Structure 1
Amino acid sequence: MKEIYKPIIVEFPLRGEWLAPNTPGKKIPSHGTDQLGTRYAYDFLQVDWKRKGWPSYRAHWLRYLLIGVPLNECYCWGQDVYAPCDGVIVRAEDGYKERARAHLLWDLFVAVKSAYAFNPRKDTIQSVAGNYIIMKCSNDVYAGLVHLQKGSIRVSIGQSVKKGDVIGKVGHSGNSFSPHLHFQLMDSSDILSARGLPCAFEQYESIKDGEWRKVYNGIPTDKDQIRFCAS
């Protein structure tokens, strides 16, 4: 039975063209679990739409498989991340080292290890989230922006931000399968205990029949080529 819910509307937190391989527009829970507030979470990365398989890196796939790809050869690494709404920063954790390369087998190992070995009583949440920001959007609504680039976070706890402010950059820290932005809404600022909240984006464009068309209050699928669209 298809889940019916009313999403919270926020602004798309990126600019340029993006793909969401993990999205509630594909399945719920979008990441296969309700833990860590991820039930309705999105992953966004940039790809080469003209190459077979839509790779997220400039190198040949064998290089990605065997030795990995330097982060600066991944399309979205270092792209600006924007505040999805007006709000207040309640958590801003930086300084977590990124892996120097995106490497399929090693990143899969990290993902499996995180899924089965993470112990909230012993391990820091940064081992999963890497560098991250949590914003309070309104009462009982918090936005999490995760896996950010080391040293890129521009905000601090208690700072008020406006929708569209640059707050960090896309990175490859923590349990990241490739440089990308993990984005979610939650009912708490504590990722360990938070419940995920459904969210949609107030306005973006998606290619339909070869043309860019505006989408309002939309939830992109894992096949959509999307881009930010200002009002």
Structure 2
Amino acid sequence: MMIDTREPIIVEFPMRGEWLSPNTPGSRIPSHGTNKFGSRYAYDFIQVDWERKGWPAYRVSLSQYLLFGVPLHEYYCWGQEVYAPCDGVIVQAEDGYEERARTNLLSDMSNAYKNARYFDPKKDDVQSVAGNYIIMKCGDNVYAALVHLQVGSIKVSVGQRIKKGELVGRVGHSGNSFAPHLHFQLMDSSDINTANGLPSAFEQYEVFRDGEWKKQFNCIPSNKDRIRFHS
């Protein structure tokens, strides 16, 4: 785990079942290589086949992924349920941003490069980066963002009060996304364009180590941890 001077804010893990976090503040900070868009301490979560070499996130072969791309339904995590990480109020809920029907390595990399280099918050729509997303206020100057959700899946609306663990949407591939995944972060503002990231940790989950599941409390997973959570 990286050492950081700020105490992480404790939240509930936002999915159920087994997950891997390929980008996590447990392995590097900033976790996504940038402090932009409040993402300094952000997590990405995917599901993988732990028995296959390289832990692929999709059911097809590597050659099909590289040559032809992969339809979204062939990804293990696409459509998985996403839950509120805290009690709070929904302050933004943006849906209707269409997902690309399949992943394509070259076009997705080009899209990511363009957004990283040329996105202008004054004139560009933040949905081109975030896709379908939810922002909820968890406390004073603490906002949770759940990003890249499946189109048409958002179950909440602005102003709605929700409890920790309530269903809010589904994992998707909208916006600046290489493959279906959940991007999760805490921020000090509800404006993704200007917010600073806040460190977070998960109040409880399990890690598979030495052939058994071991409970973790108030921890931050690394990018190698096989993690699971059931409420």
TM-score by length of 2: 0.98
CA RMSD of aligned residues (A): 1.0
Question: Residue 122 of structure 1: CA displacement?
Answer: 1.3
List aligned pairs for 1:185-204, cutoff 5 A: 185-204=186-205
List aligned pairs for 1:115-130, cutoff 5 A: 115-130=116-131
Which one-letter code corresponds to 1:61 in the other structure?
L
Q: Secondary structure of 2:213's match?
A: strand
Which one-letter code corresponds to 2:119 in the other structure?
F
Identity %: 69
Question: Residue 229 of structure 1: CA displacement?
Answer: 3.8
Partner of 2:101: 100
Q: Secondary structure of 2:65's match?
A: helix
1:90-134 Cα offsets, whole Å, 9 max, x none, are 000000010100222221111111111211111100000000000
Q: Distance in 2 between matches of 1:51 and 1:110?
A: 28
Which one-letter code corresponds to 1:201 in the other structure?
F
Q: Distance in 1 between matches of 2:30 and 2:115?
A: 18
Partner of 2:82: 81
Question: Residue 37 of structure 1: CA displacement?
Answer: 0.2
Which one-letter code corresponds to 1:131 in the other structure?
N
The total of aligned residue pairs comes to 230
Which one-letter code corresponds to 1:88 in the other structure?
V
Q: Distance in 1 between matches of 2:194 and 2:176?
A: 18
Q: Distance in 2 between matches of 1:48 and 1:71?
A: 16
Partner of 1:140: 141
Partner of 1:159: 160
Q: Secondary structure of 1:224's match?
A: coil
8 Å contact kept, 2:17–2:230:
no
TM-score by length of 1: 0.98
Partner of 2:224: 223
Q: Distance in 2 between matches of 1:213 and 1:65?
A: 36
Which one-letter code corresponds to 1:196 in the other structure?
G
**Stretches (4+) displaced over 2 A:** 1-5
Q: Distance in 2 between matches of 1:64 and 1:117?
A: 27
Unaligned runs of 5+ in 1: none
